[in-house]
Structures are given as C-alpha cells and as structure tokens.
A and B are shown apart, each in its own frame.
Chain A
C-alpha cells in the first residue's frame, strides 16, 4: 500500500494526506493541476467501445499443487450437490497450464483525478454447495455487493479487510441475501465462512472499472482504457503477484501475458 502523496496547497497550510483510499484522495484534490487526460471517464461494467484494450493469457510453470478434498460430511445438503468429491479451488488450471482465478487490474497509470461512476448493478457472490461462486471477483468502490445463500445451511460471511471496514454476517437459510458496499480500493479483501473452514473467496475492490478475472482458459481482457502507460498487476491467491507495463495509445489491443511459477 504505497500511498501516493497528494499535496494540496490551500492558504498557508500544507496538508499531507496519505492516500490510503484513492477515492477520498481524489475527492480531496480539486485544486490539483488539471491532468492532460480527460478528467472523467464514463465507465460502467459495460465494456466501453472507446479506448484501448489489454488482453492476455495467464499460465503457470511447474506442477500445480493438488487442491485438498473437502470433507462435507457435516453438511449433507451441500454434499448432495456433488457427484464426485468436491475439492478446494486454490489453483484452478485449464488446458496447457492455463491459470484461472487471477485478478488482473491496472495498479498504476490512470489519471490521478479521474473519477469513475460505480455501476448500480450488483456483483453477486453465491454460496452454493458450501463453496463460493465465483471464487475470485472484482467490484468497484460503491458498487453493491450482493451475497446470496443457495444452501439450506448456516453460512457466515466474513470479509477480512484492512483498508475497508470488515464485516461478519450470518445467513442461516437458503434464499437469504445481504448487500454491502466497499469504500476504498483494496486488493484483495478476503471472504471466508467460519462454519465451513474451506470456503474462501477473494474480492478485488477498485475505484476504476479496469480489472478482470482470468477464465478457465487463462485469458482476460480489460477494455476501454484511455491512452496512457499502465502498470498491470496480476494477483493469484497461491502464486503471488506479477506486474507488466503496457502503453495504450488509441483504440488498439495490447497483449500482456503472465506466467506464474508453481511452487
């Protein structure tokens, strides 16, 4: 969390704000010199036709660790949802060592004063078969985060956050829904269920819409980027993070592939 330091000169005060929360910093910097780029980009979860695109494939080298089997004997209702014994989803690999569940996002390079409207459509996390769906997801600051329970058993949803306020709420039956929002970018907020110690999900909270999660084929795509030079970070729960620098000049598509080492 290398906070960028914004200096705002107002009167004779020198107020330094450590940018823990990009959003509040952006709001607190109206007097900052105008950025050369458009100040605001109307963005939503809809992919914008304008701007550049960064796509890539994510792979890993070496042998993926085995995902531990989950003992669901305490929860017959969840166990019944599986034909074969369920496992954890620590490393989800596709063909040819493609790596799924990597959160890819622009960690630096966006105009400091840019402000992005959070979509009102919620991001949904489903608890089904005593596992989270999806396992890795992204959300914008202020966007509704909807947690639903499709299992007829008790789940508690604990968000372990440092930059955001954490929470821990319970959903003892199927059909329950809880909605929360996050106030500050944070990669990642860990989500867990303490009733079922194997249930884990990871949520990337961003103040911009430029993020994606790699699919089973390891591919991702971030669209609608304004021209600029960006640091793109790829995060994986077991393999750590990697970064790449990508320059976008117009509406072209640039490639950023990442290769993690299984260890």
Chain B
C-alpha cells in the first residue's frame, strides 16, 4: 500500500482517529520504504524494478530470477498453490537457493533489512493483501527412525519408482528421466530435473527434512508436483514418503565435497586400468573439482550444466591413467534434447551478434596441463593458455567416445591437435553420468610440446566440460582453475631396509654396552 493512499484517506476523519492512522501509515511506510531501498540496491539487478523477474541480469541465468508479481514460490511449507509464509520467504532470503544464482543474504544484510525487504517483496503481488489466502504451513511430523538401514532405503527406492520420480529424475536420480528434455517452468523457461546426487545444489536445502518438505509441497511454478494428496488417498503412508526422502538423500555423499588441490596418483603394480569401470578404480581416492561458466572471453556462458568433475589417477612405472567422472543429463548429441537447447538459447541474451540456432552438439571434456612442468611459481594462463604460452590438452568428445586427441591450446579459440600423440581414452555413458579414462605414457612423445610426466612433482592440471544438449560448444563451457596432479614416487627399497638396519645396530650397540658394563663389574669383583 502506498503511503499516499492511507494519508489521503485519513485526511477528513475525526481528530481522535488521526494518531492511530498516522501510526499505521508510518509503520507501513517505514517497512516498505526501507525495504524498497534494500530491494533497489541489492535485488532489482536480477528481479527487476517492478519485481517481475526482469532485471538487467535476468537473461544471464538459468533458472531465471523469481517473478514476484505472481506470488508463486518454490520453497514453501504450505500446500501446492498456497502463498508462502513469511518464514518461508525469509528462509530463501537468508539461505539463498542452492544451485541457482540466488545467494544467501543472512551475512550481508541486517535482520531489519531482510525483514524490510521481505515486506517490500510482498507488495509486488495483490495475493498477499487478500486475507482469505493467509498461508497455513502443513503439518510434517518428524522423520521416523531407522531411515538409513538397507531395508528402509529399499522401501524408499520402491516408492521412488511407484510415485514416478524416475520419470524426470531418472532411474539413478541424475535428472535424466525420459521426461527430462521437455521440462519447462510456468513461463516456458527451460528447467532441469534436479540431479539427486548433488544435494548441496538442491534449491530448498540438502537434508532429509528439506527433501520431505519439497515432496509434500511441490515446487510451485516448476514441473515438480506436490505428493501430499497421495497421503490423503492412502497411496502411501507418511513413513513411506519419508523413506523416499531418505532414499533421495542417500544418493548424495554424506557431506558436500570439498576441494583438495592435489590429486595424488598412486603407483600401481599391475596393469594400468584403461576401462572406466575397472575394479582397480574402487580403491583409488576421488577428488572433486567444481566447474563454473566461462564468463571471461566472448561468447561468455552463464548457464553451464556440468557443476563439477570427480577425478582419480594412478600410474605404473611407465604410464598414467586419469579417470574423470561427471554427471550430464544427456548423452549428446540427442535429438530429444533439441527443443531444450532452443529454450536455453532463447532464455539467455546472446553475448554478441544474433541468437544462435539450436544444433546437435556433442558432449566434450578437456584435461589441461602446461607444456612442461613449471620450475617456478608461474603457470600458463588457466583459460586455455595464450598465443605466446600455449597449454597441452587432452580433448575427448562423445561423438568419438573411444578416442581422445592431444594438442596445444593457444587461447579459448585455437586448438591445434598433435599427430601421433598416444593418448588413449575409453568412456562409458551410464544413467546420466560420463566416465572417461585417459591414458598416456609418462615419457613424452615430443618433449617440446607434450608434457613429460614425472613422479614427485606438482603438475598443474585443469578441466573443461561441455554439455552439447545444453547448447554448449566452443567458448560456451564450464571451466575450472588450475589444480595439481602428483604422481606418487615409488617407495625405494632403502625405505624398508634402513629401519631394520638401524634397529639391528641399536640393539647390537646396546648389547655391547651392557656386555662391557658386565665385564667391568666382573673384573672389579675379581679384584
């Protein structure tokens, strides 16, 4: 409500009513005026001056910013179609929305500022003023016990199938179900079904409780429906729905992955595991590296689909194998996803020129090293080197997924492949996940341009990924910064023998000292 309306109405009233009205007007004014200031400064850039989700940055992100004018909110504790409570809205403001561009504001804005902006956001829709629509949170109850056992997870999996989760989220939960390529929000923007293996990217929180709440309320405005009606109709019990939430939670790691800068590649005394599903990989430590959109060079890319890669490496006396695993909803190129590519491109402002037409691009991955192990601190430019300082890359594409190409990148737009490079690749696409193993001899086929791998050295390494069915190719990709790869040195024999010799010597010496002492004592007694 605008202050002017209230003030104008109050004008002709009797004297005794005036102070109360002024007070109300002040309270209302204070709240929303202060809230507007916060909004204009921090929110309007994405959500737009009028709250319609059309700020300047709106066409640089998928999913797009919330349009407040319809009062349709994903993260609620209320039934599908109901307004969110203030606490629901505050939660999204405070914690942000995982996996999206919406950050949490708890540490950036004061308590007062966050409450004020909440009040202001509600003024964008007339629904909040309708007292007949006052939101009522659902009763969720508490998580029943025993949810982590194998039997409970089996029940969860059973209902995951029977209530149809797999239609969108896929058989293994990576967002690759048969309906996944067609998903849109209310406004027709492209939508992904969540990859249930990355709970740290869930919009509404990562816990079992959060997941259960989303199952009950649905994510309004998106294809994700509410499953509350199924309880009323006794299709399943509350406990069984909790089991679904527990099963979904079990798909992600116990803790969100943390970045460890150095990939340790142990030495293995057996054949190099060329296959991504070789059992030898299970004993090897996995390292996770986050990827972000390439927003440095044109055409920039603000909506990368690959959020990170899991990397393992081993080496033998003469060769190295590097296994890169990442989730990708589509095995590109796939005509089923062409419509989605079109929606993605249409949702984003082209960086230069006109909007590109959707096409069938492959999935790709690049592993990058310097041309030689740097002797000092300096490394080539992380974003594919430069014309004067190229980088050495292995490139793999889904269109030739049993092979990889090595070459030199001289910036984002130049890659020269090197002939006869001896880089092998084997790959598997499995239920929304690519697993690729690169192999090469440690010794370089050409030391001038191709990195010789050496043990005991920190070798810079970086990763790049493209999801063709997300419209990614060329400079439109997901990138990482430099990390390191360290090939563990073989443990020399002296490491095992030296302590034994030292122990024998110490023991011998000790015995000698004792013997001498005893000799002396005996000698004195004799005297």
Measured CB to CB, the residues of A under 8 A from B are 11-15, 18, 20, 24, 74, 153-154, 156-160, 162, 165-173, 176-178, 180, 183, 194-197
**Contact partners of B179 in chain A: CB under 8 A:** 74, 194-197
**Contact partners of B81 in chain A: CB under 8 A:** 159, 165-168, 180
Min CB distance A48 to B, Å, is: 30
If A194-B183, A194-B223 touch, whether A165 touches B167 (CB-CB below 8 Å) is no
Contact assessment for B223 and A156 in the assembled complex, using a CB-CB cutoff below 8 Å: yes
Contact assessment for B225 and A165 in the assembled complex, using a CB-CB cutoff below 8 Å: no
| A interface footprint on B220-255 (CB within 8 Å = 1, 0 otherwise) | 111111111110010100000000000000000000
In the complex, what residue of chain A is closest to B166 when comparing beta carbons?
A154
Most B CB within 10 A of own CB, among A74, A171, A183: A171
| A165-B82, A176-B233 given; 9 more Cβ-contact pairs under 8 Å | A20-B126, A74-B179, A158-B186, A165-B133, A170-B163, A172-B163, A177-B233, A194-B183, A197-B179
A172 partner, pick from B83, B162, B178, beta carbons under 8 A: B162
**Contact partners of A157 in chain B: CB under 8 A:** 225
Contact assessment for B224 and A168 in the assembled complex, using a CB-CB cutoff below 8 Å: yes
Most B CB within 10 A of own CB, among A20, A74, A194: A194
A66 CA to B302 CA in the complex, in Å? 37
- Assess whether B393 is interfacial by the CB under 8 Å rule: no
**Contact partners of A183 in chain B: CB under 8 A:** 132
A selection of 7 A-B contacts at a CB cut-off of 8 Å is: A154-B163, A157-B225, A165-B82, A165-B83, A166-B70, A180-B81, A194-B223
B223 partner, pick from A15, A20, A166, A168, beta carbons under 8 A: A168
Min CB distance B324 to A, Å, is: 31
Contact assessment for A173 and B182 in the assembled complex, using a CB-CB cutoff below 8 Å: no
Contact assessment for B127 and A168 in the assembled complex, using a CB-CB cutoff below 8 Å: no
Min CB distance B215 to A, Å, is: 10
Most B CB within 10 A of own CB, among A167, A169, A170: A170
A178 CA to B184 CA in the complex, in Å? 23
Contact assessment for B70 and A154 in the assembled complex, using a CB-CB cutoff below 8 Å: no
B229 partner, pick from A18, A162, A170, beta carbons under 8 A: A170
A7 CA to B103 CA in the complex, in Å? 44
In the complex, what residue of chain B is closest to A180 when comparing beta carbons?
B81
Contact assessment for B220 and A166 in the assembled complex, using a CB-CB cutoff below 8 Å: yes
A159 CA to B80 CA in the complex, in Å? 10
Contact assessment for A170 and B178 in the assembled complex, using a CB-CB cutoff below 8 Å: no
Min CB distance B255 to A, Å, is: 31
If A194-B168, A195-B168 touch, whether A169 touches B226 (CB-CB below 8 Å) is yes
Min CB distance A89 to B, Å, is: 18
Min CB distance A167 to B, Å, is: 4
A158 CA to B82 CA in the complex, in Å? 14
**Contact partners of B374 in chain A: CB under 8 A:** none
Contact assessment for A170 and B182 in the assembled complex, using a CB-CB cutoff below 8 Å: no
Contact assessment for B164 and A154 in the assembled complex, using a CB-CB cutoff below 8 Å: yes
A14 CA to B10 CA in the complex, in Å? 10
- Assess whether B72 is interfacial by the CB under 8 Å rule: yes
**Contact partners of B225 in chain A: CB under 8 A:** 156-158, 168-170, 194
If A172-B235, A197-B182 touch, whether A178 touches B223 (CB-CB below 8 Å) is no
Contact assessment for A173 and B235 in the assembled complex, using a CB-CB cutoff below 8 Å: yes
A166 CA to B218 CA in the complex, in Å? 12
Contact assessment for A168 and B80 in the assembled complex, using a CB-CB cutoff below 8 Å: yes
**Contact partners of A180 in chain B: CB under 8 A:** 81
In the complex, what residue of chain A is closest to B179 when comparing beta carbons?
A195
A20 CA to B125 CA in the complex, in Å? 12
A24 CA to B131 CA in the complex, in Å? 12
**Contact partners of A168 in chain B: CB under 8 A:** 80-81, 218-220, 222-226
Which size class do B's interface residues fall under?
A: 35 or more
Min CB distance A225 to B, Å, is: 30
**Contact partners of B420 in chain A: CB under 8 A:** none
Provide the main secondary structure of the chain B interface: loop
If A169-B218, A170-B230, A172-B230 touch, whether A13 touches B167 (CB-CB below 8 Å) is no
A20 CA to B83 CA in the complex, in Å? 17
**Contact partners of B270 in chain A: CB under 8 A:** none
Contact assessment for B9 and A167 in the assembled complex, using a CB-CB cutoff below 8 Å: no
**Contact partners of B83 in chain A: CB under 8 A:** 165
If A13-B9, A154-B167 touch, whether A165 touches B127 (CB-CB below 8 Å) is yes
Contact assessment for B186 and A172 in the assembled complex, using a CB-CB cutoff below 8 Å: no
Contact assessment for A176 and B126 in the assembled complex, using a CB-CB cutoff below 8 Å: no
- Assess whether B353 is interfacial by the CB under 8 Å rule: no
Contact assessment for B226 and A170 in the assembled complex, using a CB-CB cutoff below 8 Å: yes
In the complex, what residue of chain B is closest to A190 when comparing beta carbons?
B186
Contact assessment for B235 and A176 in the assembled complex, using a CB-CB cutoff below 8 Å: yes
Min CB distance B337 to A, Å, is: 13
A74 CA to B171 CA in the complex, in Å? 13
**Contact partners of B229 in chain A: CB under 8 A:** 169-171, 176, 178
A198 CA to B500 CA in the complex, in Å? 75
**Contact partners of B221 in chain A: CB under 8 A:** 166
Min CB distance B338 to A, Å, is: 13
A177 CA to B81 CA in the complex, in Å? 17
- Assess whether B13 is interfacial by the CB under 8 Å rule: yes
Most B CB within 10 A of own CB, among A12, A24, A159, A169: A169
- Assess whether B141 is interfacial by the CB under 8 Å rule: no
**Contact partners of A165 in chain B: CB under 8 A:** 81-83, 127, 133
In the complex, what residue of chain B is closest to A15 when comparing beta carbons?
B9
Min CB distance B243 to A, Å, is: 15
In the complex, what residue of chain A is closest to B187 when comparing beta carbons?
A160
If A160-B186, A176-B235, A197-B179 touch, whether A166 touches B72 (CB-CB below 8 Å) is yes
Q: Top 4 closest A-B pairs, CB basis?
A: A154-B164, A194-B223, A197-B182, A167-B81
Interface residues of B in 61-99 (CB under 8 A from A): 70, 72, 80-83
In the complex, what residue of chain B is closest to A71 when comparing beta carbons?
B336
**Contact partners of B9 in chain A: CB under 8 A:** 12-15
A169 CA to B83 CA in the complex, in Å? 16
A249 CA to B514 CA in the complex, in Å? 131
**Contact partners of B132 in chain A: CB under 8 A:** 183
- Assess whether B376 is interfacial by the CB under 8 Å rule: no
**Contact partners of B499 in chain A: CB under 8 A:** none
**Contact partners of B235 in chain A: CB under 8 A:** 172-173, 176
A13 CA to B17 CA in the complex, in Å? 14
- Assess whether B12 is interfacial by the CB under 8 Å rule: yes
In the complex, what residue of chain B is closest to A156 when comparing beta carbons?
B225
Min CB distance A178 to B, Å, is: 5
If A165-B81, A165-B127, A195-B179 touch, whether A170 touches B12 (CB-CB below 8 Å) is no
**Contact partners of A12 in chain B: CB under 8 A:** 9, 11-13
**Contact partners of B223 in chain A: CB under 8 A:** 156, 158, 168, 194
A167 CA to B226 CA in the complex, in Å? 8
Min CB distance B266 to A, Å, is: 44
In the complex, what residue of chain A is closest to B12 when comparing beta carbons?
A12
| A interface footprint on B257-268 (CB within 8 Å = 1, 0 otherwise) | 000000000000
A74 CA to B218 CA in the complex, in Å? 24
In the complex, what residue of chain A is closest to B8 when comparing beta carbons?
A14
If A74-B178, A169-B225 touch, whether A162 touches B164 (CB-CB below 8 Å) is no
Min CB distance B185 to A, Å, is: 10
**Contact partners of A158 in chain B: CB under 8 A:** 186, 223, 225
